[in-house]
Amino acid sequence: MSGVLLWVVSPKENANSLLSLMPRIGSPRRSKLCSRLTFSTGVLAYSGAVAHPARSSEEMVYEVVLKQAALVREQSRVKERALDLDERIETDGLTNWDLLNQAYDRCGEVCAEYAKTFYLGTLLMTPERRRAVWAIYVWCRRTDELVDGPNASYITPKALDRWEKRLTDLFEGRPYDMYDAALSDTVSKYPVDIQPFKDMVEGMRLDLRKSRYQNFDELYLYCYYVAGTVGLMSVPVMGISPESKASTETVYNAALALGIANQLTNILRDVGEDARRGRVYLPQDELAQAGLSDDDIFRGKVTDKWKMFMKGQIKRARMFFDEAEKGVSELNSASRWPVWASLLLYRQILDAIEANGYDNFTKRAYVGKAKKLVSLPVAYGKAVIGPSKLTKQLVSR
């Protein structure tokens, strides 16, 4: 179960698959925008920057946080090879700029269809920021579709290697299609590091080969791969408020915490659904300590032991949400609303699990439309409060 989100939304919320966005990773085809560029098709061997057994998952992930934070502080990055969009090349009567604008527009259409609430929030951003956020969202969604979409049964590790090779190419200014071109343009303008994108692909690899997690350290790393990465991708685009007195690392840690919180919430919401697929995304050692096993999950019976276990899991997810709140207010003012909306709405899924009597085997916890409508103005209110004021409110709780 992958749970890609842009700080904000889970693509799995909409059951319709994004067939038109499914990447062709067998034999790459050039987009019109890239008709003059050279593609490479070799397979890239995986080399993980966060794969050292002697350290905890949090320590390994923090190295990625520090690297991305350093890039943002520099406020610039040197690319060996970027898309030369200043040269107006005619392609079937259209210039590169025309085609790039079309690519961004298509990304916006996808975001509007599959992440409606978030899309509305992005409309408050500057045009350049929202287009960049749309491009990141679409890449994340396409990556998620590889293992969760209609063709998931045909996806192999080599296919993911080819997808990672495409990622490297687009970061070097060699996109394969219009969606890649939008992201390639985005990463050329903002201090976005490639590592979180690579790590998300690694999360998809885990979904192919792993269906159990022995402890929370293992689960934390998985949650980082499939969800925490998105916070690291999007903060450079969303921007940090000029009024913020928080360190860059603090803001990135909050973005990471929101991704972890959202993914833990996905896991707790989808216990029954995942069990029917033979998957258990709950720490095995904590299940055993609670006197539970996989068999109890497959039976799907809500017992006192299960309720006690779930209370502990929900408490931990809420702790990550609390940590995330410390950083949302530090974002650029135009970027806060969609993130606050996500945080408030996702937290309420945990409330819904409790309201269902901890039956996440046969009942799906969700936030109704009425509660969503109430949450949006609350999120907007929090978004307009400056960083220093909101920080004081959080400390005084």
* Cα separation, 200 vs 160, whole angstroms: 11
Q: In the chain, what are the domain boundaries? A: 57-69+96-387
User: At residue 45, does pLDDT exceed 50?
Assistant: no
pLDDT tens digits, one per residue of 62-82: 888 888 788 777 754 443 334
pTM for the model: 0.81
Q: How confident is the model at residue 118 (pLDDT cuts 50, 70, 90)?
A: confident
* Cα separation, 246 vs 61, whole angstroms: 20
pLDDT, residue 40, reads 33
User: At residue 20, does pLDDT exceed 80?
Assistant: no
Question: Could you give the 3-state DSSP secondary structure of residue 171?
Answer: helix
Higher pLDDT, 373 or 41: 373
pLDDT, residue 28, reads 46
pLDDT, residue 116, reads 84
Identify the CATH class of 57-69+96-387. mainly alpha
Phi, psi angles (nearest 5°) of residue 353: -60, -45
Q: How confident is the model at residue 320 (pLDDT cuts 50, 70, 90)?
A: very high
Higher pLDDT, 187 or 124: 187
Structure tokens at 395: 């400390």
When pLDDT is averaged across residues 165-171 and rounded to a whole number, the result is 96
CB of 316 closer than 8 Å to CB of 267: no
State the virtual CA torsion across 239, 245, 250, 251 in degrees, nearest 10.
-20
User: At residue 307, does pLDDT exceed 50?
Assistant: yes
Distances from the Cα of 312 to the Cα of 256, 305, 319, 380, angstroms: 21, 11, 11, 31
pLDDT tens digits, one per residue of 234-278: 999 999 999 999 999 999 999 999 999 999 999 999 999 999 999
Provide the terminal-to-terminal Cα distance of the chain, rounded to the nearest Å. Answer: 35
CB of 379 closer than 8 Å to CB of 344: yes
